[in-house]
Structure 1
Amino acid sequence: MIVCICNRVSDRDISRHAHAGMSFDDIQLELGVATCCGACEGCARDIVSQCSVGRPIAALHQETVPVPHGFSGGRPTAD
């Protein structure tokens, strides 16, 4: 969907830049969003805040690596 009609900037363009870690100000400078009439600024800012890197997307889990039998803290055990 086109968010900024004046500069023909889509929600996908804004999302892609926000996911790359760019702030609204950076995106505004790069794409020209909300630099003419300003009617799109609220919508563009909402998209950036929804896509910002600081927002957790999914929980990360720590994988455990199986310890080989007979291995104990760097010294092999006697079997």
Structure 2
Amino acid sequence: MIVCVCKRVSDRDIARHASAGMDFDDIQFELGIATQCGRCEDCARDVVERHRTAAAHHAHPQPALPLPSYRAIPIMLAAA
């Protein structure tokens, strides 16, 4: 759907930039959203927040369990 009618920017355009890690100010500068009439700002901010949160969740998966440390184990050889 078109979020910014003045600049003809869709929610997909905004989502793509937000998923790349850009914040609202960066996206506003890049796409020109909310720079003319300003009516789209709330909706655009919602789209940015939704997609930045999703991107952050996918970018930081749960940490892997630590691998066990392997230490040299002395081996006692039987006397021949």
For the criterion TM > 0.5, the same-fold answer is yes
Unaligned runs of 5+ in 1: none
RMSD value, Cα: 2.7
The residue that corresponds to 2:64 in the other structure is 62
Bigger Rg, which one: 2
Q: List per-residue Cα deviations over 1:6-39 (Å, max 9, x = no partner).
A: 0000000000101111110000000001111000
Match of 2:32 in 1: 32
Give the CA deviation at 1:52. 1.2
- Structure 1 or 2: more strand by fraction: 1
Structure 2, unpaired ranges of 5+: 76-80
TM-score of the superposed pair, with normalisation by structure 2 = 0.72
Structure 1 position 52 matched with structure 2 position 52: yes
Give the % identical residues.
51
- 4+ long deviations beyond 3 Å: 75-78
Q: Number of matched residues? A: 74
